[in-house]
């Protein structure tokens, strides 16, 4: 049985741990002793429309034990990566599940032979330190960043029935598609304070969505802009009742992933000599709200 490590016990880490426990020997690595103890005692509670399932997995505090996994899944936010990287195992494959594309620069510095990246399309919400609500079923797109794909293929085959992994041929194209959606939906919903669906239900918001997407698409040099725009609008409709992660982070006074998402695009725009005034405005507004949240907290 393959040994799988999951670094990060937020919504995505708990979701992966819960679904993978039947097929693999799973260890979840947490930041706190309390959360590790709670998971070891109760397992991970997976809340679905059909009911509640309990997944018995092992939990350890990150940095406490030397990792010995065939595959280690890194499910923390991008701004947490630099802290986490020093704890990564020297052997075994790594799968990174961050939003944005800024983390690619960090992956180039790693020594691991087999490095994969993924784009998660599930909707999940951590309800408590040991429970996660799976409120939007999708799939996880994965691709090889460097190395051999065999372990990724094996994991995908074992998970195909209940928690599909879809292998993509080009990691850059895969991440760029997800980035264009995140760069539009996350900051707009966060600034406007609306759920995802309102971006296409309100004609004025939809026009704004289209203008922001146009800037992102130009920076990423998309040839199929209209097709990709339709996909972004489709995501808004398919997740119409969801509140974006950036909106939830601002409401909770947490740091957002705006640097990993919009910041990356602004860096690329500067490198290519392009102007992106709407993305720049959204970036500054999000950073301003982050600062206000810290000061009021």
Instruction: Compute the average pLDDT of residues 207-236.
Output: 96
Contact of 206 with 273, CB cutoff 8 Å? no
- With cut-offs at 50, 70 and 90, classify the pLDDT of residue 64: confident
Model confidence at 296: pLDDT above 70: no
Give ranges for CATH 3.40.50.720 in the chain: 3-169
Alpha-carbon distance 77 to 83, whole Å? Answer: 11
Instruction: Reduce the DSSP state of residue 287 to 3 states and report it.
Output: helix
If phi > 0 it is left, if psi is from -120 to 50 it is alpha, else beta; for residue 253 that is: left
Model confidence at 297: pLDDT above 60: no
Contacts of 244 (CB under 8 A, 6+ apart): 185, 186, 189, 190, 196
Instruction: Give the pLDDT confidence score for residue 188 in this predicted structure.
Output: 98
* Fold classified for 3-169: Rossmann fold (3.40.50)
Give the CA-trace dihedral at 96, 97, 101, 104, to 10 degrees.
Answer: 0
Could you tell me the two tokens for 86? Answer: 């020093």
Of the listed ranges 45-54, 81-90, 214-223, the one predicted with least confidence: 81-90
Alpha-carbon distance 157 to 126, whole Å? Answer: 27
- With cut-offs at 50, 70 and 90, classify the pLDDT of residue 109: confident
Q: Angle CA(162)–CA(166)–CA(169) in degrees, nearest 5?
A: 170
Catalytic residue among 49, 91, 178, 225: 178
Residue % of the chain over a pLDDT of 90: 80
Question: In this predicted model, what pLDDT tens digit does every residue of 122-142 receive, in sequence order?
Answer: 888 899 999 999 988 888 999
CA distances from 161 to 44, 72, 157, 164, 166 (A): 20, 21, 8, 7, 12
The pTM of this model reads 0.90
CA distances from 292 to 260, 269, 279 (A): 20, 27, 20
Model confidence at 208: pLDDT above 60: yes
Active site residue 178: yes
Question: In this predicted model, what pLDDT tens digit does every residue of 81-93 receive, in sequence order?
Answer: 989 998 998 789 9
Instruction: Give the pLDDT confidence score for residue 136 in this predicted structure.
Output: 80
Model confidence at 266: pLDDT above 90: yes
What Rg value do the Cα atoms of the chain yield, rounded?
A: 19
* Fold classified for 173-296: 1.10.1040
Nearest Cα neighbor of 258 from 206, 205, 189, 193 is: 189
- Tell me the β-bridge partners of 141: 119, 166
Instruction: Give the pLDDT confidence score for residue 1 in this predicted structure.
Output: 84
Alpha-carbon distance 210 to 230, whole Å? Answer: 10
Per DSSP, helices labelled H in the chain are 11-20, 33-42, 81-85, 104-107, 150-159, 171-192, 198-201, 203-220, 225-238, 245-251, 258, 264-272, 277-296
Give ranges for CATH 1.10.1040.10 in the chain: 173-296
Contacts of 223 (CB under 8 A, 6+ apart): none
Model confidence at 295: pLDDT above 80: no
- With cut-offs at 50, 70 and 90, classify the pLDDT of residue 226: very high
What rounded mean pLDDT belongs to the chain?
Answer: 93
Model confidence at 294: pLDDT above 80: no
Model confidence at 187: pLDDT above 60: yes
Looking only at the bridges linking them, the beta strands covering 44-48 and 51-55 are: antiparallel
Instruction: Give the pLDDT confidence score for residue 211 in this predicted structure.
Output: 98
- With cut-offs at 50, 70 and 90, classify the pLDDT of residue 44: very high
- Positive or negative CA dihedral for 265, 15, 31, 115? negative
Of the listed ranges 135-149, 193-207, 212-226, the one predicted with least confidence: 135-149
């Amino acid at each position: 049985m393959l040994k799988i490590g999951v670094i990060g016990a937020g919504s995505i880490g708990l979701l992966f741990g819960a679904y993978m426990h039947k097929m693999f020997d799973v260890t979840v690595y947490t930041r706190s002793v309390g959360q590790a103890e709670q998971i070891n005692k109760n397992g991970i509670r997976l809340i679905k429309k059909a009911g509640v399932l309990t997944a018995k997995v092992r939990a350890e505090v990150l940095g406490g034990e030397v990792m010995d996994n065939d595959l280690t899944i890194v499910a923390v936010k991008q701004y947490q990566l630099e802290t986490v990287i020093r704890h990564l195992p020297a052997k075994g494959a790594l799968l990174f599940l961050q939003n944005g594309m800024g983390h690619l620069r960090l992956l180039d510095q790693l020594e691991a032979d087999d490095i994969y990246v993924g784009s998660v399309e599930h909707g999940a919400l951590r309800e408590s330190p040991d429970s996660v609500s799976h409120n939007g079923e999708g799939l996880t797109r994965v691709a090889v960043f460097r190395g051999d794909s065999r372990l990724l293929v094996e994991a995908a085959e074992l998970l195909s029935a209940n928690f599909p992994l879809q292998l993509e041929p080009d990691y850059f194209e895969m991440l760029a598609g997800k980035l264009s959606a995140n760069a539009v939906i996350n900051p707009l919903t966060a600034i406007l304070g609306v759920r995802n669906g309102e971006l296409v239900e309100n004609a004025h918001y939809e026009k704004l969505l289209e203008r922001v997407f146009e800037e992102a698409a130009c920076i990423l040099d998309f040839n199929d802009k209209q097709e990709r725009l339709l996909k972004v609008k489709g995501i808004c409709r398919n997740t119409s009742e969801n509140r974006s992660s950036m909106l939830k982070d601002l409401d909770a006074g947490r740091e957002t992933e705006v640097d990993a998402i919009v910041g990356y695009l602004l860096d690329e725009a500067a490198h290519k000599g392009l102007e992106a005034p709407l993305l720049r405005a959204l970036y500054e507004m999000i950073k301003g709200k982050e600062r206000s949240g810290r000061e009021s907290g």
